Structure 1
Amino acid sequence: MRIGVVGTGYMGENHVRIYSEMEDVKLIGISDPNTSRVKELAAMYNTLPFADHKKMFEKTKLDAISIAAPTTLHCPIVLDALGAGVDVLVEKPIADSVENAAAMIEYAEEQDRHLMVGHIERFNPAVLKLKEIVDSGTLGKVVSVSTRRVGPYNPRTRDVGVILDIGVHDIDIISCIYGMKINQVYTVAGSDIHSFEDHATIHLRLNHAYSGLVETNWLTPHKIRKLTAVGLKGVAYLDYLDQSVELHDNGWVQKARVEKVEPLKKELSHFISCARDGNCPMPSGEEGKHALEVALAAIQSYQEERMIEI
């Protein structure tokens, strides 16, 4: 499989690193307008550097590509890639607007190409194990899923607030755990150290009967990434960072067996497998669009101080 990467920032470099280590994959080229950065990385990983992604599409033959550019650039780059006949993995959030996300999905269908969204926590081994536990009925009917994703502010994040940057992870995971879409959102948030919101508590409702809660901020001095799922037969406690899942019921406390692995490696392996074999990747463009729609509704909710129907 002949692979390219657009965007060589922190996340883009991780894509480059993992692709360069994968068997049956050849990293053909990488693109970034930061010419010194892209040349340095290309030399490090023995691939071709391009300042313009369109030149990479013109001068190379790619099977698939990862796009880790700023969110505001996702739509035009994805459309260019799809037009070049390439399967696409675009980092989360899928786009900067629901309209752009819809345009990307529609064009992927027209071109008969795959469009996958890089919600990396879907591939966290602890999340995969919890999803397996929930689907097996071990917890009984799950009625509440709450998450806490907090930590210090990263100065690299300037174009979006905490909801679109990290809160969208848990919005997607809550929808995934339940296996249903979110239909209402109410948010309390504020902006104290950033031009966009830097702390938020997001209340979610699914199918008018199930509860989700996302607490997220850039104010906590240490990183916490946790989830609690409450069912009628027990409770599951998940730690994204430790990749652990613990189950509690009336009689026992059990620790699930989780095989720890770097989530991005599982994500990129899934993408490559789907591009090679023609299977539909998950999460799909539609799932990415739903997570974006909910995140944008969460922002609208705190700005207008009201519940938003989705």
Structure 2
Amino acid sequence: MLRVGVVGVGMMGQHHVRVYSELAREGRVELVGIADANLERAKELARKFGTKAYSDYRELAKEGLDAVDIAVPTSLHREVALEFIEAGTSVLVEKPIADTIENARAIIEAAEREGVTLMVGHIERFNPAVLKLKELVSRGELGRLVTVSAKRVGPMAARIRDVGIIIDLGVHDIDVISYLFGEPVKTVYARAKNVVHPAGVEDHALITLGFDDGSGIVETNWLTPHKTRTLTVVGTGGIAYLDYIEQSLKLYNSEWIKEAKIQKREPLRNELEHFVECVEKGKRPIVDGKAGMHALKVALLAQESARTGKVLEVEG
């Protein structure tokens, strides 16, 4: 049975612990422990989910884990990931993979050197509606893709962030749009400003992504009073409307309108089950380090484009 742990049990990490505890009750993993600098918080969750709490992730790394889930602030991803990778532990690191390309590359190279699984937590890849849309696109239901437009807006959460909205939210749709086109982003142009973010970083952005034969648009902000998470895909053979939250997908063409039959399921559960399976069977994750680094690179270039007003090429 796979021995797993979680580092970072804040807003996202607590849900990771919950899902692993469900998998543990099903006999699929052993949740060995959870670590957080806030030991009282870790103890509270450990009591709730029947595991052990640590204040120092290095102590958890000594427990001989098969896999660890890292949900700490992005600036700590490299430090924590390398500790576990060098101990021979497979790693799922929350998106974005790191705060810089240099740190992302260090994580990827270490995982390759040690021969462990590395997966990046781009959760929307595991949304049942996105999986269905990718299936339909691959079958040619929409013809050749022309544009993919995402809207990811809503109120700013109470917690204070040290990153802007492009890295925190925009990176989701950068990854999904590239996934749907089936190719990396070639060019980036963005406009972004700050209105309410206390750290002074961007809290609204409009990002244009260039592909070989199509375009992507990402609209994102922390200014809209209600949460919206949608995707519109235009192809030469029709148009599709996806709602991430409702997990719904509708297709239109010149002759008919139809709604995809989707079995709704928690994306996080899908994601963590996939990670466990990849570690157990030695499979390459759907979102590997290379995909995670590409999404980060595009997001960082979008920030640079917003500062300089230039269209930037994505190298590599």
| Both proteins in one fold, TM over 0.5 | yes
Q: How many aligned residue pairs are there?
A: 308
Q: 2:173 aligns with which of 170, 174, 178?
A: 170
What secondary structure is seen at the aligned counterpart in 1 of 2:142? coil
Q: 2:92 corresponds to which letter in structure 1?
A: L
Q: 1:95 aligns with which of 95, 98, 119?
A: 98
What secondary structure is seen at the aligned counterpart in 2 of 1:220? strand
For each residue in 1:211-256, what CA deviation from the matched residue of structure 2 results, as whole angstroms up to 9, or x when unmatched? Answer: 0000000000000000011011100100001100000000101000
CA distance in 1 between partners of 2:203 and 2:118 (Å): 30
Q: 1:53 aligns with which of 57, 64, 69?
A: 57
Q: 1:203 aligns to what? A: 208
Q: 2:209 corresponds to which letter in structure 1?
A: L
Q: 2:233 aligns to what? A: 229
Q: 2:271 corresponds to which letter in structure 1?
A: E
Deviation at residue 301 of structure 1 after TM alignment: 0.4
CA distance in 1 between partners of 2:176 and 2:160 (Å): 22
CA distance in 2 between partners of 1:206 and 1:106 (Å): 27
Q: 1:161 aligns to what? A: 164
What secondary structure is seen at the aligned counterpart in 2 of 1:93? coil
Residue segments in structure 1 that go unaligned for 5+ positions in a row: none
Residue segments in structure 2 that go unaligned for 5+ positions in a row: none
For each residue in 1:256-300, what CA deviation from the matched residue of structure 2 results, as whole angstroms up to 9, or x when unmatched? Answer: 011100000000000000101111112000000000000000000
The answer to whether 1:79 aligns with 2:82 is yes
Q: 2:123 corresponds to which letter in structure 1?
A: I
Q: 2:133 aligns to what? A: 130
The answer to whether 1:36 aligns with 2:40 is yes
Q: 1:103 corresponds to which letter in structure 2?
A: A
Alignment of structure 1 residues 1-310 onto 2, 5 Å: 1-22=2-23, 23=26, 24-58=28-62, 60-194=63-197, 195-207=200-212, 209-310=213-314
Q: 1:13 corresponds to which letter in structure 2?
A: Q
CA distance in 1 between partners of 2:160 and 2:269 (Å): 23
CA distance in 2 between partners of 1:157 and 1:98 (Å): 24
Deviation at residue 155 of structure 1 after TM alignment: 2.5
Deviation at residue 157 of structure 1 after TM alignment: 4.2
Query: 35-44 or 219-228: which moved more?
Result: 35-44
CA distance in 2 between partners of 1:87 and 1:282 (Å): 15
Question: After the TM superposition, which segments of 4 or more aligned residues of structure 1 sit over 4 Å from their partners?
Answer: none
Aligned CA-pair RMSD: 0.7
CA distance in 2 between partners of 1:26 and 1:287 (Å): 28
CA distance in 1 between partners of 2:262 and 2:42 (Å): 36
Identity of aligned residues (%): 53
Q: 2:208 corresponds to which letter in structure 1?
A: H
Q: 1:126 corresponds to which letter in structure 2?
A: A
CA distance in 1 between partners of 2:141 and 2:215 (Å): 19
What secondary structure is seen at the aligned counterpart in 1 of 2:225? coil
